[in-house]
Amino acid sequence: MRNILAILIVIAAFSVAGTSCKKNDDNNNTTSVDSGFVYLHLHTNIDTNEADYNTVYTDANGRQISLSKAQLYLSNIRMIKTDGTQYALPNSVIILKDLETEAYFLAKVPTGSYKSIMFNVGLDATTNAKTPTAADSALNHPDMWFGSSAQPDGYVFVDLEGSVDTTAAGNGSTALMQPFTYKIGTNAHLNTVTMPDHTPVYSIAKDESQFVHIIIDYSKLLNGVPLNNSANLSVKTAADNNSAVSNTISNNVPSMFRYEE
Amino acid sequence: MKSKAVLLGMVLFAAACKHDDATTATPARCSTDTIGTVSFSRNIVPVFRQNCALSGCHTGSAPAGNLSLDSGVAYAALMKPGSGYINTSTPAASLLYSQLLSTADPMPPTGKLDTCTISLVLKWIQQQAPNN
C-alpha cells in the first residue's frame, strides 16, 4: 500500500511538473504571429537638399528649381525577406506622401529579417478606377484627381509643380525661372520601385518599431526633359499623359528613391 | 520510500517553475531610475551633445537627416509636425527612440547607447516630451 501511494505521489509530481509551465508553452505555440510596427520616414529632396516649398535650390546639374507642390502615391507595399520572399502589406495601405509629413505608419509586419522594400508609385488599375468615399483618407484628395472628381480620369500618381530654370545650359537667373506642372498618372504610368538590399538588414522585433528611411529626390524627375521648350513644362490632364515628356518623367520615377544614409 | 517520493515531488514542482522565474527577472537598476520628471535640458540635451550633435552628424547648418540636435534647436527639430521623431501618444513608436534600438540604421552609428540612457529617453517621451 505504501509503495502504491509513493508511486502515485511521484506520478502526481511529474504531472504537476509537466503542466505548471503550460502557460509558457501555450504562448510559444500560439497561432498568432509575432509582429513589429513598420514605418516609412520619407524625405522630400532636391538633390541633397531637403526641400521646402517656394525655396530655390540647385540640382546636381547646377539648374535652379523651386517647388510649390510635391506629392505622390505609394501603394502595394511589400517587405522583402532575406530569403527573397515577400510580405505584402494589406492593399488598403496607401500612402499619399506630401512634403510636410515624413513619418507614415505602414502596418504590423511579422518579426524577422528583411532586406528591402518595394512599392508602386501610383495606384493599381482597380484603385485608379475607384470613386473614393470620405473614409478613403488617402484617395479622397481632390488635388490628386485629374478632374473635378476622381472618375473617369483617375488619380494623379505624382504631382510636381514649381518653377525651374529653362535655359539649355541650366545657368539662367532666378528671376527668369518658368513655372511648370507635371501631373503624372493613368495606368500606363504605374511604376514599381524595388529598393536595393539594405545593409544591415531590417530586423523586425516583436512590438518594436522599425523605420525605413527613404529620400525622394524630385530633381531626378526632370532628367532628360527638354526644359527649354515651353511645351514640355506642362502635363496637367490624363490626355497629356500620352505625351513624350510624360513618358520621360514617368520613366524617371524609380530613380527618385534612395535610402537615407 | 514515501518521504523520498514527497521530497522528489517537491523538487520537481520547484524546478518546474524555474523557467518562469528566469524570464521575469528584474533588470539591473539604473542610476537614472531615481529621476522623477526627466528634464529635456538637464537629462536629454547632454545625451545629444555627447552622442549626436557631433561634427558630420546632427549638428550645424546641414545636419544629417536634416535633423539638428544642437542644444538650441533640438527641441523644435524633434517636435516638427509630421516628422515622427516624437510620438507622445505611442512613445515606443517615436523615431528618436526607435533609432536608438535599431540594428538596420543604428543611432549613434558608432555604437548603441547603454540601456539606462535609452530608457531615460523613452521615459522623457512617455512624460509627454516637455521642453523643460
Transcribe B48-96 into DSSP letters.
Answer: HHHHTSSTTSS-SSS-GGG----TTTHHHHHT-TT--S--SSSGGG-HH
Asked if A141 and A203 count as a contact pair (C-beta separation under 8 A), the reply is no
Residue in B15, B16, B101 nearest the CB of A208: B101
Is B13 an 8 Å CB contact of chain A?
yes
Give the tens place of pLDDT for each residue, A151-203: 999 999 999 999 999 999 999 999 999 999 999 999 999 999 999 999 999 99
Asked if B12 lies within 8 A of A198 by C-beta distance, the reply is no
DSSP one-letter string for A100-162: S--EEEEEEEESEEEEEEEEEES--HHHHTPPPPTT-TTT--GGGBSSSSSTTT-BEEEEEEE
What is the rounded CA–CA span in Å between residue A36 and residue A209? Answer: 6
B105/A211 CB distance under 8 A: yes
pLDDT at A154: 98
| Domain contains B131 | no
Which of B1, B10, B12 would best serve as a mutation to test chain A binding (most A beta carbons within 10 A)? B12
**A218: enclosing H helix or E strand:** none
pLDDT-derived band at A6 (thresholds 50, 70, 90) equals low
pLDDT at B124: 97
Q: Mean pLDDT across chain A, nearest whole number? A: 90
pLDDT at A31: 62
Q: What digits encode the pLDDT tens for the residues B24-65?
A: 445 568 888 888 999 999 999 999 999 999 999 999 998 999
Cβ atoms B77, B68 nearer than 8 A: yes
| Domain-embedded: residue B11 | no
- The pLDDT score that the predictor gives to residue B3 is 52
B85, three cell numbers: 521623431
pLDDT per residue over A110-160, tens digit each? 999 999 999 999 999 999 999 999 999 999 999 999 999 999 999 999 999
CB-based contact A39 B15, cutoff 8 Å:
no
Angle at A125 between CA A122 and CA A130, to 5 degrees: 95
Number of domains composing chain B = 1
Whether residue A17 has pLDDT greater than 50 = no
Q: Find the CB nearest B83 among A9, A103, A213.
A: A103
What pLDDT is attached to residue A32? 79
pLDDT at A147: 95
* CB of A230 closer than 8 Å to CB of A176: no
Instruction: Tell whether ipTM is more than 0.90.
Output: no
A contacts of B99 (beta carbons < 8 Å): 211
DSSP string, A70-96: EEEEEEEEEEEETTS-EEEPPTT--EE
For chains A and B, CB pairs below 8 A equal 95
Range of lowest pLDDT (A69-78, A94-103, B10-19): B10-19
Residue contact A50–B84, C-beta within 8 A: no
Q: Is residue B45 part of a domain?
A: yes
- In-domain check, residue B9: no
pLDDT tier for residue B21 given thresholds of 50, 70 and 90 = very low
3-state class (DSSP) for residue B124? helix
A249 pLDDT more than 90:
yes
Q: Which domain holds residue B72?
A: 28-126
- The enclosing H or E element of B116 equals helix B115-126
Pick the residue from chain A with its C-alpha nearest to B66. A50
% of chain A with per-residue pLDDT over 70: 88
Contact B18, B102 (CB under 8 A): no
Distance of alpha carbon A165 from alpha carbon A116, whole angstroms = 36
Mean pLDDT on B3-7: 50
**Per-residue pLDDT for A9 more than 80?**
no
Bridge partners, A159 (sequence order): A71, A183
The reply to whether residue B102 touches residue A210, judged by beta carbons under 8 angstroms, is yes
Q: Is the pLDDT assigned to residue A56 strictly greater than 90? A: yes
pLDDT at B4: 53
- CB-CB contact of A95 with A116 (8 Å): no
Residue B20 inside a domain? The answer is no
Closest Cα of chain B to A117: distance in Å?
13
Spatial distance between the Cα atoms of A44 and A161, rounded to a whole number of angstroms: 13
Q: Is A39 in Cβ contact with B102 (below 8 Å)?
A: no
From chain B, pick out residues whose CB is under 8 angstroms from the CB of A14.
Answer: 12
**CA–CA dist B16, B12 (Å, integer):** 6
In a domain, residue B71? The reply is yes
Residue A27, pLDDT score? 41
> How far apart, in Å, are the Cα atoms of A76 and each of A90, A134, A241, B52, B94?
8, 21, 22, 35, 25
| B22 touching chain A per CB within 8 A | no
Does the pLDDT of residue A12 top 70, yes or no?
A: no
A18/B16 CB distance under 8 A: yes
Closest alpha carbon to B102 in A34, A200, A210: A210
Q: Are A184 and A245 in contact (CB under 8 A)?
A: no
Q: Contact B82/A102, CB-based, under 8 Å?
A: yes
